[in-house]
Chain A
């Protein structure tokens, strides 16, 4: 085992850090006529949100138009059981989690003789400790013919089924949120508006709870249309 020796004083310095909470789009959901649904996050489940970084050297001043680099999605843990309200009868809902985002700026002394200092900034989504929120509206549902993986929910009012969301790695909402930080540099105060994307990829128990709202002769189906359960579609169809 290689023991971690702590850094020598003066080699690295965290110059500044801050955090902000922002409601971040992490899922979208539809119901169809005669059904209702909600999104359930269990404690310990994860949504994936982009981690960003940028760096430069030769001056503490932030270079103009320096872009953030995408480091991929970081797991953001849901800290308690949470669920959205029900959306029903064709209602569309955008599910938002209040995520805590950190900004950190580091300074590394690379070559003291040559006076080389590197600066590095990070945006890190950390956790979702707050209750979920959702905005609702009307949007065309592309639900249609049952395809891909599919399970039947039922055809009698009150019958329900949960579908576990998994999703596809690398498939992002763009953007999921814009987080604003007011950051103090040695050269002055700067407002950073950082666009952050969320991945449609979930870990642990992120579920769609679907319930039949009225008795029908057809059966309510939940299916993924080949999205690897990134999306749960609903349709009324005969029992095969």
Chain B
């Protein structure tokens, strides 16, 4: 009796595990396409997608190791086309993954293969900010990538330094001022 109940519980569990496995396998396969397939898609369609992974392996505060990454603010801009696009503003993440649109200009033949000439070169700026209650610190890194591979990986390190402070009389205000912009 007891063993029957156990089998009844375990069957759906096994089914879920298998389904998860299949889904993970397909997701992985869909994302990690090999270079040949990627090049073929680029050639036939004229465009494809690459995956860019940015890993942040080290954060320093004025040259010393910094571990309180939960207190950091992270801002990611995409400067590929301007005005820029703000991709992210939030808590610090040690790993960021982007899907990049790649347009083929031409395939340049080289010895033993071809090199895709693609457009545009992608440009991202990652700013991190740390407020310790007394002083503001920040650091920035720019990642420029020519997406001529299906999988692109970049590793970054940051060194937080003091943000220049403007000496003012009284308390700064959060009062909004006019939004001024050129264009739409």
Contact = CB atoms under 8 A, between A and B. Distances in A.
B121 A56 contact: no
Q: Is the interface of A mostly helix, strand, loop or mixed?
A: strand
B82 A114 contact: no
Interface in B134-167: 136, 138, 140, 142, 144, 146, 163-167
A51 B142 contact: yes
A4 interface: yes
B75 interface: yes
A2 B55 CA distance: 12
B20 to A, nearest CB: 16
A7 B89 contact: yes
Interface stretch (A117-125, A144-152, A215-223, A226-234): A117-125
A116 B89 contact: no
Contacts of B174: 109, 112, 115, 117
A2 B177 contact: no
Contacts of B129: 108, 110, 118
A118 B165 CA distance: 9
Interface stretch (B8-16, B34-42, B91-99): B91-99
**Interface bin, chain B:** 35 or more
Contacts of B100: none
Interface stretch (A11-19, A29-37, A82-90, A131-139): A11-19
Interface residues on A, range: 35 or more
A207 to B, nearest CB: 13
A104 B83 contact: yes
B168 interface: yes
* Residue with the highest number of chain B CB atoms closer than 10 Å, among A5, A77, A204: A204
B73 interface: yes
A122 B79 contact: yes
A17 B182 contact: yes
Contacts of B118: 44
Given A75-B121, A75-B123, A104 B84 contact: yes
Interface stretch (A58-66, A155-163, A171-179): A58-66
Given A58-B172, A110-B131, A14 B181 contact: yes
A58 B84 contact: no
A57 B137 CA distance: 10
Given A13-B179, A124-B82, 12 more contacts: A6-B88, A16-B181, A44-B118, A51-B123, A58-B165, A110-B136, A112-B174, A115-B173, A122-B77, A124-B84, A184-B180, A186-B178
Interface of B: 31, 73, 75-77, 79, 81-84, 86-90, 93, 95-99, 105-106, 117-121, 123, 125, 127, 129, 131, 133, 136, 138, 140, 142, 144, 146, 163-168, 171-174, 177-183
The list of the 5 closest CB pairs from A to B, nearest first, reads A7-B89, A44-B105, A75-B121, A59-B166, A102-B82
